[in-house]
Amino acid sequence: MQSFQPPRRILMGPGPSDVSPRVLSALARPTVGHLDPVFQSLMEEIKTALQRLFNAPDHACVPLPAPGTAGMEAAMMNLLEPGDRCVVAVNGAFGGRMADMADRAGATVVTVEHAWGEAIDIARVEAALAEAPTKVLAFVHAETSTGVRSDAATLCGLARKAGALSVVDCVTSLGGIVVDAAAWDADVLYSGTQKCLSAPPGLSPIAISKRAQAAIQGRKTKVRNWLLDFNLLMSYWGGEGGRTYHHTAPINALYGLHESLVILFEEGVQAAIVRHARLHEALVAGLEAAGLEMLVDAKDRLPQLNTVRVPDGVDEAAVRAHVLKVWDLEIGAGLGPLKGKVWRIGLMGASATPWHVRLCLTALCEALAAQGFGVESAKALAAADAKLK
């Protein structure tokens, strides 16, 4: 074997995003023990920072030792017991995954299905909740498979009205658009480090309300996942000085998360949200000037995940292969019913800069021109630049 030397890619797919040199440097710092007092101080800083980022001052906020999917599994397995009713709004791949996990927890699952590319229909979810007593309402705030944003505040309000707990997938939203646990009165929110936080994949920040904690503590049966059992997990993460061994924390990965949060707060969370929105407008202007169409209605689009329709007669996989080979640029393919029909272009965290927008437009126009699709990169770049002035 020889040391692995990866190529330098520019990551503008659905995740991961580019990781800044500061975060990469933090990952290389000396490893200490997971019960070392110095490391415990870092844990406290991370918990406080996550409360600030989620705007969840009364929630327990910790980073789970696995990717964003672990947050989803932790939410479902901790809150649901066999026979509990769970309503899941499904408008893409990850809503469907939530429903699968709820079923594995033994719940009676009711799905409210939507076409991929559409926001969640509030009235249909309200009707589903009214049919029977419900333990959990689960939905995706920012659906990574489609680039759709749904109305988290209203959906969480429906859950409260129905006496249900709300579970909100914020994997792609945290750090890119507003996530506000307190204002939404949300119960469980989870995210991932590899999207708008621009840290490597492998951690899942989660915020759990006091209502949700009480429900977990009052379970009649054991949580079906040992590693992500909140009651066991908090024996380690719960408080400074009182920690007991639960698992060996991914120490250097937590260094990286900490540094990514330092970087985000240096910029300012609101400033980062404005940056994502501004660059999204520039990218869309350039794409439309090149003759391309967006999948999602403007009012429902995510700024950090842009889903672009593939023009008729264009080999979408060949376009992705071209930009990767020639430009070292990664963009994403469609999933499920959108496979072969769209590209997913990420503008997340460190990958959300004017340079990234211009590079993506240039590379995409070149790849399309190679297939005979008439595009003018100069026109696309001019349209984007007009939004960046």
| 305 & 275 share domain | yes
| Residue-level pLDDT at 240 | 61
| 178 & 311 share domain | no
| 100 & 228 share domain | yes
- The share of the chain scoring above pLDDT 70, in percent, equals 99
| Containing structural domain, residue 340 | 269-388
Q: Which of 265, 283, 312 corresponds to the end of one domain?
A: 265
Q: 150, 139 in Cβ contact below 8 A?
A: yes
| Residue-level pLDDT at 21 | 96
Sign of CA dihedral 253, 255, 260, 264: positive
Q: How far, in Å, CA of 90 to CA of 260, rounded? A: 31
Q: How far, in Å, CA of 230 to CA of 75, rounded? A: 9
Q: 226, 64 in Cβ contact below 8 A?
A: no
Which CATH number characterizes residue 256's domain?
A: 3.40.640.10
Output the pTM of the full model: 0.97
Q: Is residue 9 part of a domain?
A: no
- Mean pLDDT of all residues in 174-181: 98
- Residue 273: pLDDT band (50, 70, 90) is very high
| 273 & 261 share domain | no
| Residue-level pLDDT at 231 | 92
- Mean pLDDT of all residues in 87-94: 98
- Residue 243: pLDDT band (50, 70, 90) is confident
| 144 & 77 share domain | yes
Q: How many domains would you assign to the chain?
A: 2
| 205 & 112 share domain | yes
Give the distance, in angstroms, between the CA of residue 169 and the centroid of all CA atoms in the same chain: 7
Interval 222-235: pLDDT, tens: 999 999 999 999 99
| 161 & 49 share domain | yes
Q: What angle do CA 188, 166, 207 make, to 5 degrees?
A: 10
Q: Which of 236, 265, 294 corresponds to the end of one domain?
A: 265
Which CATH number characterizes residue 350's domain?
A: 3.90.1150.10
pLDDT at 242 over 80: no
Burial classification of residue 288, based on how many CB atoms lie within 10 Å of its CB (0-12 exposed, 13-18 middle, 19 or more buried):
middle
Give the distance, in angstroms, between the CA of residue 10 and the centroid of all CA atoms in the same chain: 19
| 219 & 308 share domain | no
| 277 & 163 share domain | no
Q: Is residue 8 part of a domain?
A: no
Q: Is residue 144 part of a domain?
A: yes
Interval 34-80: pLDDT, tens: 999 999 999 999 999 999 999 999 999 999 999 999 999 999 999 99
Q: Is residue 13 part of a domain?
A: no
Q: Which of 212, 242, 265 corresponds to the end of one domain?
A: 265
| 106 & 78 share domain | yes
| 233 & 275 share domain | no
**E-state strands within 102-214:** 108-113, 136-140, 142-143, 148-149, 165-169, 188-190, 204-208
| Residue-level pLDDT at 241 | 60
| 231 & 293 share domain | no
| Residue-level pLDDT at 238 | 85
- Residue 299: pLDDT band (50, 70, 90) is very high
